[in-house]
Amino acid sequence: MKLRFGLPLLISLLCWTQALDSRTKVRISTSALSAAELASREALPSPGITARAGLASPTRSPWIIANGWRVARHPEAKYRYDLPTGTAALAAAEAFAYGADALLKIDPADAASVAAMLTFVEGLPTSDLPPIADLAVIDDGSAVTGEVMNLLARRNLLFQVAHAPSPRFRLNIVIGSREYPVEDVSVD
C-alpha cells in the first residue's frame, strides 16, 4: 500500500479486508458509503482506555475497550468503526492484529497517524502460523459468554473460540455447565 503525502489529508474512510494470502489489505476510499453498506457492518466501539470512578483508572486498573474478542467470536463478519479524533491509528492496529474486515471512518486530523500505522503494518512480515491459545471458550452465542471472552482478552489470557469442547485444550470453558455455572460468572 502506498500513499502520496498529499492524499492522507483527504482520507476519510479506510477498509481493511482479509486477503486470501492471510495478509490483511487496506482499501482507501474518500467517498461516502451508502446506508446499506454501513448497515451491513457491525459497529465497533473505539478502542482505548476509559477511567471509571471507583472501578478503573489509567494507572492503577485501566478499563480497556478492545474488540479483538468480537472478531475472534465472528471472524467472518464485517465491522465498522466511526472514530473520534485521536483513535484511528489504534483502531487500524487492532483491525490489522485480528485480521478484521473493518471499515474505519476517520477524522482527517488523524490521516498522518493512520498513514504512519499503515507504513508500519505493511513492513511486517507475513505470518501463517496458527493462533496461540491456552484454553477454549465454547461459544453458545450468549451475552454472558461474550463478556467472559471480553474479560479473558482484557487480562491477556489467550483463548480460542470453539463450538464444542476440544481435547487440544487442557481447559474448555462452557458457561452454564456444572463446572462454570452462569450464576458464578463475575463480570467485574
Cell numbers of 167, please?
481435547
CB contact at 8 A, 147 and 182: no
The angle that helices 111-122 and 88-98 make with each other, rounded to 10 degrees, is 30
CA–CA separation, 49 and 113 (whole Å): 18
Cell numbers of 171, please?
481447559
Name the pTM for this structure. Answer: 0.77
CB contact at 8 A, 144 and 168: no
DSSP secondary structure code for residue 8 in this structure: G
Which residue type is seen at 4?
R
Query: For residues 57, 158, 184 and 179, what is the CA-based torsion angle, rounded to 10 degrees?
Result: -170
CA–CA separation, 175 and 185 (whole Å): 8
- With left for phi above 0 and alpha for psi between -120 and 50, is residue 146 left, alpha or beta? alpha
From first to last of its 188 residues, the chain has per-residue pLDDT tens of 333 333 333 445 565 555 444 455 556 555 667 788 888 899 999 998 876 666 655 556 677 788 999 999 999 999 988 889 999 999 999 998 888 888 888 888 888 898 899 889 888 888 778 878 989 999 999 999 999 999 888 888 899 999 999 999 999 999 999 999 998 886 55
State phi, psi for 178 to the nearest 5 degrees.
-60, -40
Q: Give the pairing of strands 135-138 and 159-162.
A: parallel
- The ranges assigned to domains in the chain are 8-122, 135-184
